Amino acid sequence: MSSRIKIFDTTLRDGEQTPGVNLNIQEKLEIARQLEKLGVDVIEAGFAIASPGDFEAVKAVSENIKNATIASLARAVEKDIDRAWEAVKGAVSPRIHTFIATSDIHLKYKLKMTEDEVLERAVAMVKYAKKYCSDVEFSAEDASRTRIEFLIKVIEEVIKAGATVINIPDTVGYTTPIEFGNMIRAIKEKVSNIDKVDISVHCHNDLGLAVANSLAAVMNGATQVECTINGLGERAGNAALEEIIMGIDTRKDFYKIGHKIDTKQIYRTSKLVSSLTGITVQPNKAIVGANAFAHESGIHQHGVLSEKSTYEIMKPESIGLAQNRMVLGKLSGRHAFEERLKEMGYTTLSPEAIQKAFEKFKSLADKKKVVLDKDIEALIEEKVSEVPEIYELESFQITSGNKSVATSTVSLKKNENIITEAATGDGPVDAAFNAIERAVGMSFTLEDYSLRAVTEGKDALGEVTVRVSKDGKLFVGRGVSTDIIEAGVRAYLNAINRAISEIGEG
């Protein structure tokens, strides 16, 4: 077994395939920078041929990230590989990641090819990619359902063709830990030239076994694990990076393997990805869920107060989770605020971003008696998720009651012009959203609306996340305020500005 496992993060590629997720270039770059800070070995930045936007995002990540290998996915087709190389060639360490299915069911129903034809294509395309790039990863799609004799043959031949990484995906989340571990061991023992490459695994979570299967593979010789932040991905998602890493860290005695992930960046990375994708982390999610370090049972509370190790196998601080405490007040200055941001791990914010966050903090401090770390965190995340403010909120007013029709008047600022519109609706939020749509002259479909309190208490910040659709595309918006109606208005306007930035005004 290798002394160190490599982490291949595919949040920006497979993670973005999560239904409802639509990241723009700046958001992908923001996540990539945080992944670099986290210490991942490889960032799969996208599927370059999928769209012009995907190509530009992969290119931007390649040109800006210096401390990780940047990969682009490509089918085993020349035009895909051409496009992938164009996107990643500016990277300090570029990789082309090409794939073709190898299972009987995929050969028969999807590819309509024979095993010999698939083998020939795989070898030819690895050789083709190798002309561009010294680092070529080959994936045998649906490997976990592939006839083992054929899989071994394909692997041997693509290694001869120049592949440097061989990926064994459990594409549909079908396998089990013992079964998958045995497959990896068989590959390691029976592929004659396997010592020349890294063995990678990419497990999906359809049966809830992605992390268990990945760790079983590591125990049997895998040297790279492909995963995503918060387990994002198609269908039930992928193996969660944070669970794999903290599993290895917490059970060093068992796995006896290292990594180069800075675990104190895990919580920050999880929050950033959740904020930008609009996919809320479930409270009972392992490692990064809101309840991951919470103890409600009296027996558990007593044990933890006596000795933390009775019920805590990890320290919250190990993933960068700071304890809530009062940090600053309305009389605090910018210098103290900036120092607190650095203590919280926000070390790469621009002076402009710090100033904007400080202004929001001062406004919040006038409304809240106690400002906590999580409040500041919410303000910073709101700034990160901002898009160009084509329309800015000037003011809004709501009239509502259980025996009256909800009415809202909203004033928006565009350039130097103030646009004011009024509308009714089925409640104050609906009325406000209708007024916004009238002001911008466009209609949207609200697909999802979620509200959560950032901290406890009646004066807690409310955080609203909305998803809206327009012309078949989904857009996420986010807003925070001590007034939950205002948080909703800001979130809806944020989503609309995002939509207009991408598709233009109607």
pLDDT tens string 204-224: 999 999 999 999 999 999 999
Sheet strands side by side (includes 392-401) = 392-401, 404-414, 417-425
User: What is the reported pLDDT for 297?
Assistant: 47
User: What is the reported pLDDT for 299?
Assistant: 46
Comparing 455 with 327, which gets the higher pLDDT?
455
CATH class of 392-503: alpha beta
User: What is the reported pLDDT for 302?
Assistant: 47
**Mean pLDDT across the stretch 360-379?**
81
Query: What residue type is 7 in one-letter code?
Result: I
Comparing 316 with 370, which gets the higher pLDDT?
316
Comparing 336 with 85, which gets the higher pLDDT?
85
Strand partners, 452: 463
Rounded Cα distance, 410 and 165, in Å: 56
User: What is the reported pLDDT for 311?
Assistant: 61
* Residue ranges covered by each domain of the chain: 6-277, 293-321, 322-384, 392-503
Map residue 147 onto helix, strand or coil. Answer: coil
Please tell me the pTM assigned to this model.
0.86
Residue 456: is its pLDDT beyond 70? Answer: yes
Rounded Cα distance, 390 and 498, in Å: 9
Percent of the chain at pLDDT above 90?
73
User: What is the reported pLDDT for 301?
Assistant: 44
pLDDT band at 397 (very low <50, low <70, confident <90, very high): very high
Contact in structure between 429 and 446 (CB atoms under 8 Å): no
Residue 295: is its pLDDT beyond 80? Answer: no
**Mean pLDDT across the stretch 173-182?**
98
| CA 172 and chain centroid, separation | 20
Comparing 71 with 310, which gets the higher pLDDT?
71
User: What is the reported pLDDT for 377?
Assistant: 81
CATH topology of domain 6-277: TIM Barrel (3.20.20)
User: What is the reported pLDDT for 429?
Assistant: 96
User: What is the average pLDDT score of the chain?
Assistant: 91
User: What is the reported pLDDT for 307?
Assistant: 62
> Per mean pLDDT, which of 304-318, 373-387, 482-496 is the most reliable?
482-496
**Mean pLDDT across the stretch 27-34?**
96
**Mean pLDDT across the stretch 329-357?**
81
pLDDT by residue (tens digit) across 273-294?
Answer: 998 998 999 999 999 998 888 7
pLDDT by residue (tens digit) across 457-493?
Answer: 777 889 999 999 998 889 999 999 999 999 999 999 9
Rounded Cα distance, 385 and 379, in Å: 10
